[in-house]
Amino acid sequence: MPPDSSRPEPPRPGGGHSRTLLRVAGRRAAADGVVSLTLEHPDGRRLPDWAPGAHIDLILPGGMTRQYSLCGDRWDAYTYRVAVLREPGGRGGSAYIHDELRQGDLVAVGGPRNNFPLTPSERYLFIAGGIGITPLLPMVHQAELLGADWKLLYGGRTRDSMAFADQLRVHGDRVTLVPQDESGLPDLPSWLDEPRPRTKVYACGPGPLLEAVEARCAHWPPGLLRTERFVPKVESAPVRDEAFEVRLARHGASVTVTPGVSVLEAVRAAGVNVLSSCEEGTCGTCETGVLEGRPDQRDSILDDDERGAGDCMFICVSRSCGPKLVLDL
């Protein structure tokens, strides 16, 4: 075959556009006001790998993007689990998930991405407030696997509102449950005022809890306290579920990216080869410079600052916030 002839690509195992749409495989009440969802690929494929502390974005109708920590089992490559607290004062994301999202529905997903990785230590103190237990659950599992010495201090409004408290019971006195209506607020001074040698503190929960933890740990050596805040993110620009235009600056061509087709596929269909490898936003091979427009980043690579810069994107999974993107291609 002459090298210049064009030809259809052979089918790729696993390649495809529907990768970031996952199906709600199950939902159940995890506690008062908390629903836990299991998500799977509609074709039964493996999902991208993750590690404790990772979250995914759920992209809900109307462009609402919400981040939820993965709290399932990473040894199960086919299912993600998230737990969602209904926030009565919220802006509609959690209400939608509680009231509208049903088993069998498809939902667009970004990530996973990890801003809260578990780092090695001989001892861990995990501190959870309410739904902040979710990223800590897989951390507890891994601390156990690694044979680390760990304790969990878990506070919530009432015993019934504390998700996964039942499954934590198997760990006996490593876990201290502090329902506020029975025992008041967790006694942070007794846990934190004396720095514990070679102990890392991982804390997740509402702002006031984390501020209290940070204040108590102020005199600890640096690097031992790691926190993740459960606060509403600044509202992201609407995430399009309509088509958008991608202009390839160097080729001088434009392509339209329709829903259900990735930017990578659209660019390839226009005859422009872009290297890729994992096609799930984890390896970074298809990094592409963004010259104009705002990418809707759905990869597992960039951290929050880098995402904010918006000067590059991974076109196997990421899309556009607006009607037009200009790429350095």
Partner 1 sequence: MNLSATSPGHDDLPSSDVDPFGHEVLEDPHPFHAELRESGPVVRLTGYDVYAMGRHEQVHAALTDWQNFESGAGVGLSNFRREKPWRPPSLLLEADPPRHDAPRAVLARILGPRALRRLRDAWFADAAALTEQVLRTGEFDAVTSLAEAFPLRVFPDAVGIPEDGRENLLPYGDHLFNAFGPPNDLVRQGNPRIAELSAWVDARCRPGMLDDDGFGAHIWRAAARGDITEAQAPLVVRSLLSAGVDTTVHGLAAVLHAFATHPEQWRRLRRDPSLARVAFDEAVRLESPVQTFFRTAVTDVPIGGTVVEEGSKVLLFLGAANRDPRRWEHPDTFDLARDPSGHVGFGMGIHQCVGQHVARLESEALLTALAERVERIEIAGPVVRHHNNTLRAWRSLPVRVHPA
**Binding interface with partner 1 (CB under 8 A):** 1, 3-7, 9-10, 12-15, 46, 49, 51-52, 74-75, 77, 114, 117-121, 142, 145-146, 200, 222-224, 250, 268, 273-279, 283-285, 287, 301-302, 306, 312
Q: CA 248 to CA 179: how far, in whole Å?
A: 56
Q: Which is nearer to partner 1, 91 or 198 (CB)?
A: 198
Cα(176)–Cα(184) distance, integer angstroms: 13
Q: Which of 260, 274, 226 is nearest to 19 (CA)?
A: 260
In the complex with partner 1, which residue's Cβ is closer, 145 or 231?
A: 145
Taking the complex as a whole, how short is the minimal distance between the CB of residue 97 and partner 1, in angstroms?
Answer: 28
Query: What are the backbone dihedrals phi and psi of residue 196, each rounded to the nearest 5 degrees, phi first?
Result: -95, 130
Between 38 and 94, CB nearer to partner 1? 38
Please, what is the minimum distance in Å from the beta carbon of residue 153 to partner 1?
20
Using the minimum distance from each CB to partner 1, give the nearer residue, 66 or 113: 113
CB of 275 to partner 1, least distance (A): 6
Q: Which two tokens stand for residue 52?
A: 């404790």
- Closest separation in Å from C-beta 265 to partner 1: 11
> Going by C-beta distance under 8 Å and a sequence separation of 6 or more, which residues neighbour residue 23?
39, 40, 41, 42, 104, 105, 106, 107
> Residue 96: which residues within 8 A CB-CB, separation 6 or more?
60, 61, 64
Q: Tokens 């993740």 map to which residue?
A: 228
The residue type of 302 is L
Q: Name the 3-class secondary structure at 124.
A: strand
In whole angstroms, how close is the CB of 253 to partner 1 at the nearest point?
14
Nearest distance, CB of residue 87 and partner 1, angstroms: 30
298 vs 282: CA distance, rounded Å? 10
